[in-house]
Amino acid sequence: MHFLDQAKIFVRSGAGGQGAVSFRREKFMEYGGPDGGNGGKGGDIIFEAVPGLNTLIDFRYTQHFRAPRGHGGSGSNRTGAGGDDLLIRVPVGTQVLSEDKEEVLADFTVPGERVVFLRGGDGGRGNATYKTSTNRAPRQHGTGWPYEEMWIWLRLKLLADAGLVGLPNAGKSTFINAVTNAQAKVGAYPFTTVRPQLGVVRRHNREFVIADIPGLIEGAADGAGIGDRFLGHIERCKVLLHLVDATEEDPVGNYRIVRGELDAYGGGLVDKPQVIGLNKIDALEPAEVKKLVTKLKRASKADVLPMSGAGGTGIEAVVERLIEEIGPPEGAPARDDDTPGEWSPV
């Protein structure tokens, strides 16, 4: 399944049906009078957040959504049938933005959440409703209220409890593979990860979702590398796991580069709680690791956890710290198993 996290679509609600002009004509009825019915209401545009989806790829091929209009009224005071509502299903975490992307019109964070986005037009009045004591045979009628339409952007921000950040080849994909069954691609070249990857970590009767995004490089905020657009997928995270490659020439400088890109992006990312993992320590001598940990602590003013995603060293300590930062689950039932889990799209 292809990943797409932004899509532009056109939506239009249904117009109201036209009211009828009709007069009662029955044998032996001396006075018939008007009996034109009202028009039916047009269909609404409704968005619904559904679980199991993690992409907006369907909206690349279907970009226009129009709800049916209401049917016209008829004689014998019969109201026209209303147009069916058009339900648009989107993944949980989707935001609906204005065409200029300046305003968030709706934000879906709860499975099953529904929003009537555009209301269909009301039906027009039939001539029976215009009858008065002085206007016994009205011929006027309502044409129905018009539809509403607009171009909007859909933007998906994946829902995760923890987000992985770091330079390319810092070991983020290796880590998520070690603690989940996500099966992220691992390669000895930059930008192995080209789209966000989710995995479910299950430890000690706890379960949380972790998100791996493409690596950041200096100048990502200005479009360097893959850019920083994917940072939107970790805006909702409660904690960030910042992995630093201990085998690089300047691990402290690399840490500052990533922090600078988070600050340049905004969205409160730089202020989120962070867990720092000094990765690939199995390639260094213990004395070198201890020296790097001290330097990184001084630069970050935070605890630094030495670890190795490939060798498994220190991984459990990192997971424990993430659980502490995420806090207790919100009404989620505890699990009895202690095995890695996986997340897969439906």
Q: Is 267 annotated for ligand binding?
A: no
State the angle between helix axes of 172-179 and 315-326 in degrees (0 to 180), rounded to the nearest 10.
80
Q: Is 167 annotated for ligand binding?
A: yes
Q: Is 337 annotated for ligand binding?
A: no
Q: Is 169 annotated for ligand binding?
A: yes
Q: Is 171 annotated for ligand binding?
A: yes
Q: Is 213 annotated for ligand binding?
A: yes
- The answer to whether residues 124 and 143 touch, using CB atoms and an 8 Å cutoff, is yes
Q: Is 80 annotated for ligand binding?
A: no
Q: Is 333 annotated for ligand binding?
A: no
Tokens encoding 167:
């330079």
Q: Is 152 annotated for ligand binding?
A: no
Q: Is 55 annotated for ligand binding?
A: no
- The answer to whether residues 317 and 283 touch, using CB atoms and an 8 Å cutoff, is no
Q: Is 193 annotated for ligand binding?
A: yes
Burial class (CB in 10 A: 0-12, 13-18, 19+), 227: middle
Q: Is 282 annotated for ligand binding?
A: yes
- The answer to whether residues 282 and 291 touch, using CB atoms and an 8 Å cutoff, is no
Q: Is 281 annotated for ligand binding?
A: yes
Q: Is 309 annotated for ligand binding?
A: yes
Distance between CA atoms of residues 106 and 111, nearest Å: 14
Q: Is 212 annotated for ligand binding?
A: yes
**Dihedral class, residue 225 (left if φ above 0, else alpha if ψ from -120 to 50, else beta):** left
Q: Is 310 annotated for ligand binding?
A: yes
> Which residues fall in the annotated binding site for GTP?
166-173, 212-215, 279-282, 308-310
> Which residues fall in the annotated binding site for Mg(2+)?
173, 193
> Which residues fall in the annotated binding site?
166-173, 193, 212-215, 279-282, 308-310
